[in-house]
Chains A and B, each alone.
Chain A
Amino acid sequence: MNIIVVGCGKVGLNLADQLNKEGHNITIIDNDEKELRHAVDFLDVMGIHGNGAMPQTLREAGINDADVLIAATNQDEVNMLCCLFAKKEGHCSTIARIRDPQYTTEIKYLRDELNLAMVINPEMAAAREIERLLRFPSAIKIDSFSRGRLDLIRAKVPENSKLVGIPFYSLKNEIGLDVLVCCIERGEDVLIPKGSDCFMAGDEISFIASPKDITDFFLKLGLEYTPVRDCMIVGGGRVSYYIAKYCKETHLKLKLKIIETNRERCEFLAEEFPECSIINGNGIDQELLKREGIETTDAFCSLTGFDEENIMLSLYAGKLSDTRLVTKVNRISFENVIREMNLGSVIYPKQIIADSIVRYVRALENSKGSNVETLYKIADGRAEAMEFRVLNDPDLINRSFSDMNFKDGVLICGIIRNHKVITPNGSDMMKVGDRVIVVTKNTGYNDLRDILEEKEEEESVIHYEL
């Protein structure tokens, strides 16, 4: 595919590199000639010198033939403008890097108005990742749909689970949570469960739930679960901001303590997050860290802007206690060295978003001409969870699910309508513009129509002619 990357900073370069390795044709636009030459020298890409927010430059980079445009300069406004023009000039999907927290609060509006396929925000993605790490035992894998409105979680049913033997159709009444089990791995088998199925001890289940229900479901499932009650964060940058925001939004009972050197930033954080305790001081000060309880905290995150500082802080915290550690590292190049150190979970914000873009491009490639939005492989690739956008198709829309004839091993797990999540039952129906999450064992679907059983009348006609 032809991909244009605007801006060749750390994010842009890393993206270009990864997408290039996937076999795509990359064109980079940047107005810094030196950086651009550096990129062109080291990667097999084309470089265009100019302002990415100018239609002229975009045309020069071949916007007409491009499939994807990724605007990843360090200015949100430039990125948005760039995507706006790209949409007008060509027919590509646009991805914009928008990371100012103020824009993020209006992100739905911006996405819809600018017609963006995806918004990338490395700090927010990192914060989400860290928040998940703090919330759930690390053994569990989490993917998210529709920008985090629904999560797909993989977990193992423990031996003594109280939910064993309860059929899924009565699960909702039994536990009072909107959780949909969409895939079960039992020994060698992969099942797409029906309403009459139930859990068995030792199953590896994948289920879909909104983030706020996950903790409760884990408890009901009987999973050993030691929650993190308090967390110390050094560095009050954007990542910390988003973590605090997530904790506030999801009503997570997590007491955050943020240590930050800049007084103004502290004041800002104190205004935004009254429930967090904000300390104005240097995180490198060992006395300060001890006084604020580094030895007793449940989790410790080093999220300053300097990799070296983060690594030192995490090593120090790890030496004092066996608290859960999270370390943010910006540069990926030293990964092989870092891996051997006791740094707990290492977060590479840029890697996280590069991964999600690569995944998006892959889904786009899989579904060229189809309407797959997101694609996850589950159960070690033996099943797929896909997010479709519903188009105007009379066979699909406005028909209740109980009237429709789905293929075996297909499960509709969720509908997202106007940014709200619906857990479907037999009487629900699809509407134009919905996003539908489908889990299936039969891989290779690239259109929502594929989930329907072929019409029987047609088959009988064929029989007749034979």
Chain B
Amino acid sequence: MNFSMIVYILAWVLKIEGISMILPLICSLLYRENDIALCFFFIGAASILLGYILTAKKPKKIAFYAREGFVIVAACWVVLSLVGALPFFISGRIPHYIDALFEIVSGFTTTGSSVLSDVEALGKGLLFWRSFSHWIGGMGVLVLVLTVLPLGGGYNMMIMKAESPGPEVSKMVPRVADTAKALYKIYFILTIIMIVIFLLSGMPLFDALCIGFGTAGTGGFAIRNSGMADYSMLSQFLITVFMILFGVNFNVYYLIQRKKFSDAFHSEEARGYFIIIAASTLFITLNIFQSIGRGFLFALHHAFFTVGSIITTTGFSTLDFNEWAVPSQMIILFLMICGACAGSTGGGLKVSRLLILLKSLGKEMHLIIHPEAIRKVRLEGKCLDHAVVRSVSTYLMAYCFIYMISIFLISFDGYDFMTNFSAISATFNNIGPGLGKVGPLSNFSVYSYFSKLVMIFDMLAGRLEIFPMLILFSIKTWRKTN
């Protein structure tokens, strides 16, 4: 295990985190929240300083492999969260450290679950930091590190593999660093466009920025106690559209940027994703519009918002879907698990994995009827290697396993099954609100600190696609001899 390299990269992450605290610092100063500004200043300066000291000398041995790559990613997210929670804790706005940690993990993993019942009391600076963490976490911190850190060799692909969501990571350009840059460029430009459009739709600047970050990272922290309900229908509609756009595989945008439109529009995963959105919206609308009783279009608008918010795992809410009919709630639960496209900022199981699983089910059924048949599982017109199909099946297994254990662990708090199940669904899939007692209008403060730690683990595992977290906590990883 190349520890010096792990520390080196972690130090880089600290530096970047320190630098990214400059924005909330400015924000606090503008709103005259001097105590919070001071917190940001000291924590930011300390992390930058520590980062500089630790990166002053580049390690002699820079080679690292898949094991280190996975450990780096997992450890980096843990460190990032531990430091990121400090402003909440030190400023005293969130008195307990585990609550602060829950809040910031929920931010970085783009979950958007909160333990606060009165978010507005947090102050503008911390609200900004909370939402900004969505934006950083959405594309990945290490992807950002890769754009500035010239590691050379094939090592950095290990990191990219561990941090990018989806069953397979494809490079868009030959170099990893350039791929990371291209990703961040698309991410940045889309975010800017979105914020400008939000401003034009009549949103105040602060709201446009925070909600923009939440939408881009598909996070979902609200900055008002009423969630998204206060904004105009137009703003809500625009938020929906952008949530859905950020749930599409970024390769599609890269193809559009390269003017390869036909390739972009033939993406099988994106098509499946849009079909699921359209079908679920229609179903929920038909299911709820009579009980809501404010006309078909009203129901359609909110059903579309909710479906977009849940499938992209953003978790903004306009209406309390806790009051909807049970079939609609089941659809919402399904969407939570389904998640967005691979290679997007969304979480969940990912549409591409679902497609692969369905197709291999078809293949297995075919093989029962024709035992000697040879059949390939293909996605996007290409045949998938057997190893990919196998890893997707294993992923599903690990996913279900962690799901069940987590539900078991938090069940000691004594809440009903729906609440527990949806709480784990909401955190593990990085969504935000669940159903029952953790619905859109409630929060996670009802759970014990132990349950919160379980959920913190789930959020990180969900964001990093399980394996990095499992490897970080596996004894075998840390043994000197294999």
Give A contacts to B, CB under 8 Å. Answer: 263, 266-267, 269-271, 274, 277-281, 288, 292
Task: Verify B372–A270 contact, CB threshold 8 A.
Answer: no
- Assembly CA distance A433 to B462 (angstroms): 63
Closest 3 CB pairs of A and B: A266-B374, A281-B372, A278-B374
Besides A271-B383, A280-B373, A288-B372, 5 other CB < 8 A contacts? A269-B374, A270-B374, A270-B383, A279-B372, A279-B374
Q: Which residues of the partner chain A approach B370 to less than 8 Å between Cβ atoms?
A: 277, 279, 292
| A248 shortest CB reach to chain B, Å | 13
A277 to B362, CA, bound (A): 13
- Counting chain B residues whose Cβ lies within 8 A of the other chain, the interface size class is under 10
Which of B366, B374, B376, B378 contacts A263 (CB under 8 A)?
B374
- Residues from chain B with a CB closer than 8 A to the CB of A269 are 374
Judge whether A278 and B383 touch: CB under 8 Å. no
CA distance A242 to B438 in the complex (A): 60
Task: Provide 27 A-B residue pairs closer than 8 Å at the C-beta atoms, listed in order of the A residue.
Answer: A263-B374, A267-B374, A267-B376, A269-B374, A270-B375, A270-B376, A270-B383, A271-B376, A271-B383, A274-B376, A274-B378, A277-B366, A277-B370, A277-B373, A277-B375, A278-B373, A278-B374, A278-B375, A279-B370, A279-B372, A279-B373, A279-B374, A280-B372, A280-B373, A280-B374, A281-B372, A292-B370
Q: How far is the CA of A292 from the CA of B374 in the complex (A)?
A: 13
A288 to B371 CA separation, bound complex (whole angstroms): 10
Chain B residue contacts of A280, Cβ below 8 A:
372-374
Determine the residue in chain A with the shortest Cβ distance to B370.
Answer: A279
Of all chain B residues, the one with the shortest Cβ separation from A278 is B374
Complex CA distance for A274 and B382, rounded to whole angstroms: 10
Residues in A whose Cβ lies below 8 Å from that of B383? 270-271
Give, as a whole number of angstroms, the nearest-CB distance from A434 to chain B: 30
A9 CB, nearest partner CB in chain B, Å: 32
Residues of A within 8 A of B373 (CB): 277-280
In the assembled complex, the Cα of A62 lies from the Cα of B98 at a distance in Å of 93
B-chain residues with CB within 8 Å of residue A270 when the two chains form the complex: 374-376, 383
Residues of B within 8 A of A271 (CB): 376, 383
The answer for the CA separation of A102 and B162 in the assembled complex, in Å, is: 37
Q: Which of B55-72 contact A (CB under 8 A)?
A: none
Q: How far is the CA of A277 from the CA of B369 in the complex (A)?
A: 12
CB distance from B371 to the nearest CB of A (A): 8
Cα-based distance from A392 to B268 in the complex (angstroms):
49
The CA-CA distance from A161 to B370 in the complex, in Å, is 43
Question: In the complex, A278 Cα to B378 Cα: how many Å?
Answer: 15
Residues of B within 8 A of A267 (CB): 374, 376
Instruction: Point out the residues of chain A lying under 8 angstroms from B376, CB to CB.
Output: 267, 270-271, 274
CA distance A263 to B373 in the complex (A): 10
Chain A: minimal CB distance from B387 (Å): 14
Inter-chain CA distance A267–B383, complex, in Å, is 10
The smallest beta-carbon distance between A232 and chain B, in angstroms, is 12
* Distance of A13 from chain B, by nearest CB (Å): 37
Candidate in B370, B374, B375, B376 with the most chain A CB atoms within 10 angstroms: B374
- Nearest B residue (CB) for A293: B370
B382 to chain A, nearest CB (A): 9
CA of A288 to CA of B370, assembled, Å: 10
Complex Cα distance, B372 from A267, in Å, reads: 12
Interface residues of B: mostly helix, strand, loop or mixed?
A: mixed
A251 CA / B373 CA spacing, docked (Å) = 23
Closest residue on chain A to residue B378 by CB atoms:
A274
Chain B, 355-404, CB within 8 A of any chain A CB: 366, 370, 372-376, 378, 383
Q: How far is the CB of A285 from chain B (nearest CB, A)?
A: 9
User: What is the bound-complex CA distance between A281 and B383, given in angstroms?
Assistant: 22
Chain A, residue nearest B375 (CB): A270
CB distance from A35 to the nearest CB of B (A): 38
B window 311-336: CB within 8 A of A: none
What chain B residues lie within 8 Å of A279 (beta carbons)? Answer: 370, 372-374
Q: Who on chain B is nearest to A267 by CB?
A: B374
Q: Given the complex of chains A and B, what is the CA–CA distance between A387 and B76 in angstroms?
A: 72
Measured between alpha carbons, how far is A3 from B472 in the docked complex, in Å?
Answer: 75
Q: Which residue of A lies closest to B373 (CB)?
A: A279
In B419-456, the 8 Å CB interface with A consists of: none
A281 to B372, CA, bound (A): 6
A263 to chain B, nearest CB (A): 7
Kindly list chain B residues whose C-beta atoms are within 8 Å of the C-beta of A277.
366, 370, 373, 375
Alpha-carbon distance between A267 and B366 when the two chains are bound, in angstroms: 15
Contacts of A292 in B (CB 8 A): 370
Q: Which A residues are in CB contact (< 8 Å) with B372?
A: 279-281, 288
Cα distance, A269 to B372, chains bound together (Å): 14
- When distances are taken between beta carbons in the complex, the residues of chain B under 8 Å from A281 are 372
**A263 proximity list for chain B (CB < 8 A):** 374
Q: How far, in whole Å, are A271 and B372 apart by their CA atoms in the complex?
A: 16
A278, B366: Cα distance in complex, Å: 11
Residue of A at shortest CB range from B377? A274
List residues of chain A with CB within 8 A of the CB of B375: 270, 277-278
Residues of chain B lying within 8 A (CB to CB) of residue A288: 372
Residue of A with least CB distance to B366: A277
Least Cβ–Cβ distance between A260 and chain B, in angstroms: 8
Report the minimal beta-carbon distance from A163 to chain B, rounded to whole angstroms. 39
Report Cα–Cα, A274/B384, bound state, in Å: 12
- Nearest residue in B to A265 (C-beta to C-beta)? B374
Bound complex: CA of A14 vs CA of B366, how far in Å?
Answer: 44
Q: CA of A51 to CA of B366 in the docked complex: distance in angstroms?
A: 51
Bound state CA distance, A267 and B378, in angstroms? 13
* Assembly CA distance A269 to B375 (angstroms): 9
Name which residue of chain A comes closest to B381, CB basis: A274
Which residues does chain B contribute within 8 Å of A274, judged by CB atoms? 376, 378
Complex Cα distance, B372 from A438, in Å, reads 51
Measured CA separation A278–B373 after assembly (Å): 5
Complexed CA–CA distance, A292 and B371 (Å): 10
A227 to chain B, nearest CB (A): 23
A residues near B378, Cβ cutoff 8 Å = 274
CA distance A288 to B372 in the complex (A): 9
Q: What's the nearest-Cβ distance from chain A to residue B57, in Å?
A: 50
CB of A327, distance to nearest CB on chain B (Å): 23
**Distance of A197 Cα from B390 Cα, bound (Å):** 65
Q: Could you tell me the distance between the alpha carbons of A277 and B374 in the complex, rounded to whole angstroms?
A: 8
CA distance A263 to B372 in the complex (A): 10
Would you give the 0/1 interface string for B77-92, flagging 1 where the beta carbon is closer than 8 Å to chain A? 0000000000000000
Q: CA separation between A270 and B374, bound complex, in Å?
A: 6
CB of B356 to closest CB in A, whole Å: 14
Instruction: Please give the distance in Å from B266's CB to the nearest CB on chain A.
Output: 15
Residues of A close to B366: CB separation below 8 A: 277
**C-alpha gap A462/B374 in the complex (Å):** 77
Chain B's closest residue to A269 (CB) is B374
| Bound Cα distance A456, B71 (Å) | 92
Give Cα distance in the complex from A292 to B366, angstroms: 12
Q: Smallest CB–CB gap between A272 and chain B, Å?
A: 9
How far does the Cβ of B268 sit from chain A's closest Cβ, in whole Å?
Answer: 13
Measured between beta carbons, the chain A residues less than 8 angstroms from B374 are 263, 266-267, 269-270, 278-280
Q: Which residue of A lies closest to B372 (CB)?
A: A281
Q: How far, in angstroms, from A270 to B383 measured CA to CA in the complex?
A: 9
In the complex, how many angstroms separate the beta carbon of A247 from the nearest chain B beta carbon? 18
Name the CB-closest residue of B to A271: B383
Alpha-carbon gap, A280 to B373, bound state (A): 6
Assembly CA distance A220 to B91 (angstroms): 83
A284, chain B: closest CB distance, angstroms: 13
- Residues in B whose Cβ lies below 8 Å from that of A278: 373-375
Alpha-carbon distance between A409 and B375 when the two chains are bound, in angstroms? 55
Nearest CB in chain B: distance from A136 CB, A: 29
Q: How far is the CB of A264 from chain B (nearest CB, A)?
A: 10
Question: When chains A and B are docked, how far (Å) is the Cα of A98 from the Cα of B378?
Answer: 30
Q: How far is the CA of A280 from the CA of B375 in the complex (A)?
A: 10
Q: How far is the CB of B205 from chain A (nearest CB, A)?
A: 52
Query: In whole angstroms, how far apart are the Cα atoms of A267 and B374 in the complex?
Result: 6
Query: Residue on B with the closest CB to A292?
Result: B370
Min C-beta distance of B324 to chain A, whole Å: 40
CA of A279 to CA of B374, assembled, Å? 6
CA distance A292 to B370 in the complex (A): 7
Which residue of chain B has its CB nearest to the CB of A277?
Answer: B373
